[in-house]
Structure 1
Amino acid sequence: MARYEGRHRSAPAPSTAPRSDLATPMAQSGRSSGHTHEQASSGGHPLGHARGAGSTSSARRGKNAHRKRHFGRPVLAGALALGLGASGFAYAKANDLMGADTAAFVVGNGVVAQTDELARASTVDTTYRAAASVSRNERRTALAATGARTAKELEAKQKLAAAKQAEQARAAAAKAARDKERQRVIDNALKDPQSAARILMVDHGWSSDAQYNCLVNLWNGESDWRWSAENASSGAYGIPQSLPASKMSQFGADYRTNPLTQIKWGLWYIEMSYGNPCNAWSTWQARSPHWY
């Protein structure tokens, strides 16, 4: 039993077929020397020696081999760490990173540059988005302001148009009122010839009170505004005292009975002969006996 354990720890069990997983040279040399020693000590009886000192030596050799195998693992790990450190040192020296922060060796320049680029791109994108948002808001504000200005301008134009229409309506209404009054006064010329004369004076451009007063004074002196007045010596007839009376027929065949026809002829004659009623009145006053 002791002999089997020793062989299990130090080397494979004896076999007639050759094995590929041979023991280490030290184990082989141990077995060789152990076997020689056993043969020498026991006088050609290996079995008896293995049960004694030979068994102890084999067990010791198995323990040493086990320790060597476990000892090789940390050595290999240390070699790998040393290689990695040397590679890092070479990379740092080649890229002039000696003395840099230790984080640089962990992160790396490429990663830092990429991170910076991403941060810069993010900042640019954020700035662009903010600017685009501001631009959209400005466009909305501008559109709203344009709409407000357009609405105000349209409202102003509408108010102006409404005011113009209102003024035109007032003017039309005033003209209609004047026409109505004119017609009323003209229709009443038989009873009120002076009011009819003032209405008709405007057609000649005489609208002032001064011209009207001159006309009133002139025809007061001629006929006292009577449509049937007739000068017994000369034959002058009507309100303007036309001589002969037939001259007034150019304004109507009813010149002998219609004061309106007489007034129209008299105003035409004053304009053609004197220019206006005040000139005719001044001439009438300057003559004796008075006439114009």
Structure 2
Amino acid sequence: MRSGSTDLPVLKPFRAPAPIAPSGFAAPVMLSSGTLAVFVILFGASLALAQVAARPAGEGAVTVLLRWAPLIFQGFLFNILISFLSMALGTVVGVLVGIAQVSLLAPVRKTAWGVTQFFRNAPWLVLLFYAMFLLPFEFRMFGITIAFPAWVKAVIGLALPVAANVSEIVRGGIKSIPAGQWESADALAFTRAQTLWMIILPQAFKRMLPPWMNLYAILTMATTLISVVGIQDALSVTRAALIAESRPELMIPMYLLLLLMFFAYCYPIARATLALERRFNVKA
């Protein structure tokens, strides 16, 4: 036998497959573009029908829609602002309550669980009504009267169910980490707080991110509830435009325009959520 040779079977080098991240994000973009095109076609068809049904002496449907579109878009931006603020407040509170749900102290753990279950299973509109009508319109501090705007109360009302859902996301993310991580940290003399902030939460973050993004998309669509309690948002502006014009044929194009705005904003978030789940191998 020659030096350096062998008659034993040899396993050929294995070529690792390409990462799935690029394709994981490319597919949702393609699907989003196709679905968005369907909405655009439906919007164009409804606008054409409204143009045909327009009164001979009145303005065309396209002219009226272009006049109101900037105002509707401004209302839509207000919905986005409300969603940002509600999500930020709900996330801060929800993270604290979620960590309290895994506390070693039974009273703290049970109280956090009860608060989470109550607000998680309460109707969002009911919580919004309670926040709007139970919170004061103004309050005094050091002899100074400070107004409490309705939109701030709406942010609080929407942040309550968000906080409850974020709390459950945090609890589930922490519980999904294997117990061996806690045991290894105990063996290295880490405190529970050090284990949680330095070991457990960094690993749980990627598992919590997809459901957190999905919750934000749901919240954004739910911000139209604020129109029910008298706050001027995109839905309120659309309804006011229809009343001002008194043209029933414009109802479908205007509401489709509003739907198109929300769809173009929320659908990519939902698709990115699925892509992150595939990338991080997060199982439902």
What is the TM-score with the length of structure 1 in the denominator? 0.20
What is the TM-score with the length of structure 2 in the denominator? 0.21
Q: Of the two, which has the highest radius of gyration?
A: 1
